[in-house]
């Protein structure tokens, strides 16, 4: 990770750790970088948080000042930006979003010409430019100044693409959608309605400050209740920029990313379509997923946390399915990034083909109890390398042995240390998480 760019772009509190001057300079750099030998074409999407409009203007100003033509998708999803970039030959794309973070945060995600996240070496060059005392990049002049184009048609083409992927009608299916008051509000219902579903939607009235607030893939309670009360067949919850999806079965049980990988992985294997007989996961995936894969004869690989690393592994090794427990699921046959709405369509395909409720389809996977606690810290590196914290972690690992595991890692997008324990029961999870969290606090690392 760099000074500004983490695992998912440049993210921080709007006008505090990420401001409009920095956004303008990011635009200036990209317009110049991609416009060395031709007039650059760059597409921008944004989510619904209030500051996204401000950053859209700043980025557009920087891009056009460097000579790039800028195409605005307006409120849309991160995967739609990826789709438009790779299908319509843009030089790169920018998504303005802080994903699942609260409304006061925002971020700049840069997507390269192939539709996936920008290369680390280019991110480093952007960081060097951001920290430079002088602006050495030339401004475009006269007819070389870039123009800004309304490109909402790009979002409509993405919607049509999603609809085209469905193999069966969704007629008579009762589907709930939690749009998180975010980007999915502009896309998801249109797709399900077009496919014939009886669509029930909640949290699809964004006002700039309610994105992710007690809703979406990080707060599933409303959707669970809604599915049960309305007798729905399934429910899907997205995050702020809709690159994640978690689901709820007909009984109100949460289906996380691990269960989605099991559902889709076994389905593809049975159809002879799981390339290399392998699913790519991250180190956060549950032990129960691996045991279920072992029983099904499915191989798996583990990467660092971040769909960026999952995708890199998939591309390097030719795998077609991978993802994270948090709901970033990548179907590389159709997309170059996690796509929440695409994921929900794939789950619908399995349900319709198998003619069974989701709860029945998942009865063969048993997830171990898992507890994750985030500790906001003053300095992630100092906290992670503290001798007392390391000693506490070692003690937990020794006591768990082969019956569980501890994962202690830095967040790639927030000033947070994540402490996760998997064990045989909830009480043990809580006990061992507390040992490490208490060590962090006792050493004075917690940020008040």
Q: Please indicate if the annotation marks 241 as binding a ligand.
A: yes
Q: What pLDDT, on a 0 to 100 scale, did the predictor assign at position 219?
A: 97
Q: What pLDDT, on a 0 to 100 scale, did the predictor assign at position 323?
A: 97
Average pLDDT for residues 404-411, to the nearest whole number?
A: 89
The whole-angstrom separation of Cα 198 and Cα 172 is 7
Quick: pLDDT tens for 319-354.
Answer: 999 999 999 999 999 999 999 999 999 999 999 999
Phi, psi of 20 (to 5 degrees): -70, -30
Average pLDDT for residues 417-421, to the nearest whole number?
A: 94
Average pLDDT, the chain: 95
pLDDT range class, residue 226, cuts 50, 70, 90: very high
Of 257-261, 271-275, 379-383, 431-435, which gets the smallest average pLDDT? 379-383
Q: What pLDDT, on a 0 to 100 scale, did the predictor assign at position 415?
A: 87
The answer to whether residues 240 and 100 touch, using CB atoms and an 8 Å cutoff, is yes
Q: Please indicate if the annotation marks 243 as binding a ligand.
A: yes
**pLDDT score of 1 more than 90:** no
Quick: pLDDT tens for 270-327.
Answer: 999 999 999 999 998 998 999 999 999 999 999 998 888 999 999 999 999 999 999 9
**pLDDT score of 8 more than 90:** no
Q: What pLDDT, on a 0 to 100 scale, did the predictor assign at position 91?
A: 98
Q: What pLDDT, on a 0 to 100 scale, did the predictor assign at position 178?
A: 98
Give the chain's domains with CATH numbers.
Answer: 5-156 (3.40.120.10), 166-361 (3.40.120.10), 370-442 (3.30.310.50)
Q: Report in angstroms the alpha-carbon separations of 428 from 294, 391, 403.
A: 25, 18, 11
Quick: pLDDT tens for 30-52.
Answer: 999 999 999 999 999 999 999 99
Residues with Cβ within 8 Å of 229's Cβ and at least 6 positions away in sequence, in order, are none
Exposure string of 392-413, with b = 16+ CB inside 10 Å and e = fewer, is bbeebeeebeeebbbbbbbbbb
Average pLDDT for residues 403-418, to the nearest whole number?
A: 87
Q: Please indicate if the annotation marks 379 as binding a ligand.
A: no
Quick: pLDDT tens for 63-105.
Answer: 999 999 999 999 999 999 999 999 999 999 999 999 999 999 9
Percent of the chain with pLDDT over 70: 100
The whole-angstrom separation of Cα 21 and Cα 10 is 13
Q: Which residues are catalytic?
A: 99
Q: Quote the DSSP letter at residue 412.
A: S
Q: Is 19 left (phi over 0), alpha (psi -120 to 50) or beta?
A: beta
The pTM for the full model equals 0.89
Q: Quote the DSSP letter at residue 81.
A: H
Q: Please indicate if the annotation marks 185 as binding a ligand.
A: no
Of 69, 144, 126, 60, give the one whose Cα is nearest residue 96: 60
């Amino acid at each position: 990770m760099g000074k500004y760019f983490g695992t998912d772009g440049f993210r921080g509190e709007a006008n505090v750790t990420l401001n409009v001057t920095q956004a303008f300079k990011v635009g200036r750099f990209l317009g110049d970088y991609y416009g060395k030998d031709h007039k650059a074409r760059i597409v921008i999407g944004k989510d619904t948080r209030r500051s996204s409009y401000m950053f859209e203007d700043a980025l557009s100003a920087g891009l056009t000042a460097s000579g790039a033509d800028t195409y605005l998708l307006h409120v849309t999803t991160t995967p739609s930006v990826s789709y438009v970039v790779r299908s319509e030959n843009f030089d790169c794309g920018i998504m303005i979003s802080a994903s699942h973070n609260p409304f006061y945060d925002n971020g700049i995600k840069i997507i390269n010409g192939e539709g996936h996240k920008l290369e680390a070496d280019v991110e480093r060059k952007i960081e060097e430019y951001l920290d430079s005392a002088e602006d050495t990049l030339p401004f475009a002049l006269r007819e070389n100044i870039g123009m800004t184009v309304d490109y909402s048609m790009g979002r409509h083409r993405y919607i049509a693409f999603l609809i085209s992927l469905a193999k069966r009608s969704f007629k008579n299916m009762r589907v709930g959608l939690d749009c998180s008051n975010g980007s999915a509000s502009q896309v998801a219902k249109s797709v399900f309605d077009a496919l014939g579903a009886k669509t029930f939607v909640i949290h699809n009235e964004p006002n700039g400050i309610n994105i992710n607030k007690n809703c979406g893939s990080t707060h599933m309670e409303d959707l669970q209740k809604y599915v049960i009360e309305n007798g729905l067949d399934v429910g899907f919850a997205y995050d702020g920029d809709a690159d994640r999806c978690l689901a709820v079965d007909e009984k109100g049980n949460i289906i996380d990313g691990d269960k989605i990988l099991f559902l889709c992985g076994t389905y593809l294997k049975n159809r002879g379509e799981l390339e290399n007989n392998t699913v790519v996961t991250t180190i956060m995936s549950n032990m129960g997923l691996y045991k279920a894969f072992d029983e099904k004869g499915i191989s798996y690989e583990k990467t660092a946390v971040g769909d960026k690393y999952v995708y890199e592994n998939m591309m390097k090794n030719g795998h077609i399915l991978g993802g994270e427990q948090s709901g970033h699921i990548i179907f590389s046959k159709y997309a170059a990034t996690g796509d929440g709405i695409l994921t929900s369509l794939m789950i619908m395909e399995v349900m319709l083909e198998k003619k069974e409720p989701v709860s029945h389809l998942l009865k063969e996977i048993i997830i171990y109890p898992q507890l994750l606690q985030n500790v906001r810290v003053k300095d992630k590196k100092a906290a992670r390398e503290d001798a007392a914290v390391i000693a506490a972690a070692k003690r937990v690992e020794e006591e768990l042995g082969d019956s569980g595991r501890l994962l202690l890692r830095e967040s790639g997008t927030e000033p947070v240390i994540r402490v996760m324990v998997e064990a045989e029961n909830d009480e043990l999870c809580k006990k061992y998480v507390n040992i490490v969290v208490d060590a962090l606090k006792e050493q004075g690392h917690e940020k008040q």
